[in-house]
Amino acid sequence: MKSSVITFPGSNCDRDMDVALKKFGFKNKMVWHADAELPKSDLVVLPGGFSYGDYLRCGSMASKSKIMQSVINFANSGGMVMGICNGFQILVETGLVPGVLLRNKYLEFICKNVFVKINDKKNKFFKNVDNKVLKFHIAHNEGNYFCTNDQLKEIEDNNQIAINYCDENGKIEDEFNPNGSIKNIAGIFNKKKNVLGMMPHPERMIDTSLSGEDGSLFFKNLINNLK
């Protein structure tokens, strides 16, 4: 399985993602944002970080960079695209997934482990993950998911919510919502579910000596689903 990780000026989780993808069997290529062509890929990842210093709005500049037109075409033709953290912010700015990510409700940068409940498994990202709840890491200032009421209805009708913030038993309540996101949304799909944007970092959960292993579960499962 071939993957590509796009590096934007200010990306800082691109190499972590490279390590994670390779660890679970992807042949990964790093792709510079100013390139026009995407290498042949089964998965394209927009990594976390602070592309363009978060100027104007997080992800807004990166969404207009040269490579993104190829990424958008790839996604629109059914290609698997995943945006993590700043990558999620870039995805919403391209319009590939609905909504926006606002400043965290309590104006704090949040850096901690959280639990997320998988809302939908009828997709290649989460199909066959046994766990209902995963422990991931979040680190962001703008992760407060927001969309219009019409968009929310559409997202819910199409089952586009991927994961919600919850407690370790999968209970989705206000008190487990770290950033003020509508309905505790931590990640969403596009309509066809070949594009996933999420704030948590699975690539930070792939090493027993450093963290948990729920990221390992996620990546192992992902590569199997793509085969």
Partner 1 sequence: MKISVIITLKKDVLDPQGKVIHQTLDGMGFDNVNEVRQGKYFEIDTKETDNDKAKAKVEEMCKKLLANLVIENYKIIDPK
Q: Give contact residues for partner 1 (rule: CB under 8 A).
A: 56-57, 60, 64, 93, 99-100, 102-107, 144, 146-148, 151, 180
Q: How far is the CB of 107 from partner 1 (least distance, A)?
A: 5
Q: Known catalytic residue: 137?
A: no
Q: Which is nearer to partner 1, 80 or 147 (CB)?
A: 147
Measured from the Cβ of residue 5, the count of other Cβ atoms closer than 10 Å reads 28
| Structure tokens that stand for 24 in this block | 């679970």
Q: Which is nearer to partner 1, 19 or 56 (CB)?
A: 56
Q: How far is the CB of 35 from partner 1 (least distance, A)?
A: 21
Q: Which is nearer to partner 1, 5 or 101 (CB)?
A: 101
Q: Known catalytic residue: 140?
A: no
Q: Which of 13, 58, 85, 147 is catalytic?
A: 85
Phi, psi of 9 (to 5 degrees): -65, 115
Report which of 23, 15, 74 is spatially closest to residue 219, judged by C-alpha positions: 23
- Find all residues with CB under 8 Å of 60, minimum gap 6, and list them: 52, 93
Q: How far is the CB of 148 from partner 1 (least distance, A)?
A: 6
Q: Known catalytic residue: 168?
A: no
Phi, psi of 219 (to 5 degrees): -70, -40
Contact status, residue 62 vs residue 37, Cβ threshold 8 Å: no
**Among all residues, which ones are annotated catalytic?**
85, 201, 203
